[in-house]
Amino acid sequence: MRMLGYNLTDRQKELLRLMVERVKSRAVTEPFLRIGARDGYSLHPQSGEAFDIGTWGLGDLDALVDADLLSARTNTQGTSQLYSIKQAGYDAVDSDFSAPDVSFLAHLTPLADVSNLDQEIKSRCLPILGAGSADPKLWDSAVRTAGVILEDRLRQVGGIRDAGRVGRDLVNDVFGQSGTLTSKFPSDSERLGYRDLFAGVVGALRNPYAHRLVDPSPEDGGAFMMFMNLLLKLLEDLR
């Protein structure tokens, strides 16, 4: 797995190393109490010798908290901060501040980047979600619209002029043995695969939203939307 460095300065890494090394050597125990003084700040562990952090400053502690390597909370008197090292902080020091490359997450959450979505989905579905992306009722409307877009695209790409052709009948008109796109496929098995795929989507996914209120979770609605987007791309490749 490719590794990526943390977005920390060498000084901030040095501070965390010092805290981790002192805890691991059992010279101190957590949490660390930050105490301000006229000439700077010091960290006082629950047990063990305190050490001055004036060399680093509060910004360095804040950076480690922002990087999710330290946790910070206010002490019971409400006068200062208590810092504890998170497991991620120990892991960061152990790995010399290398972190796993999680860039693949962007491909598992494609709705975070809508630039490659089908234009009809962008223009007709996303504005619905703009009114409240956590509302299942809005996802219901957006998903229903995506299903209509899919059937409309089947008619467009398949050259079906009858606007009343819907569902499995429409799929068979396009991908059946004598369907309008039969010549697009190098083999009959591939054509049948497309027919079964689109017929299954119409029956299992499109129809429930067409005939009743489903109100999916945002996660299910997002997955549906991306699946519709993939099917639209497959159709465009056959155009």
The 10s digit of each residue's pLDDT in 127-163 is 999 888 889 999 999 999 999 999 999 999 999 999 9
Q: What one-character DSSP code corresponds to residue 142? A: H
Classify domain 3-100 by CATH number.
Answer: 1.10.10
Band (pLDDT 50/70/90 cuts) for residue 74 is: confident
Helix (H) or strand (E) holding 172: helix 167-175
Nearest to 6 by CA among 184, 14, 197: 14
Cβ-contact 110, 226 below 8 angstroms: yes
> Maximum distance among all alpha carbons in the chain?
87
Cβ-contact 86, 66 below 8 angstroms: no
Which amino acid would we find at residue 20?
V
Alpha-carbon torsion 1, 96, 63, 19, what sign?
Answer: positive
> For the chain, what are the domain ranges?
3-100, 107-238
Q: Is the pTM of this model over 0.95?
A: no
- β 51-52/40-47 pair status: antiparallel
pLDDT value for 3 = 41
What proportion of the chain, given as a percentage, has pLDDT over 70? 91
Tokens of 30: 């957590």
Cβ-contact 101, 2 below 8 angstroms: yes
Tokens of 188: 């009959």
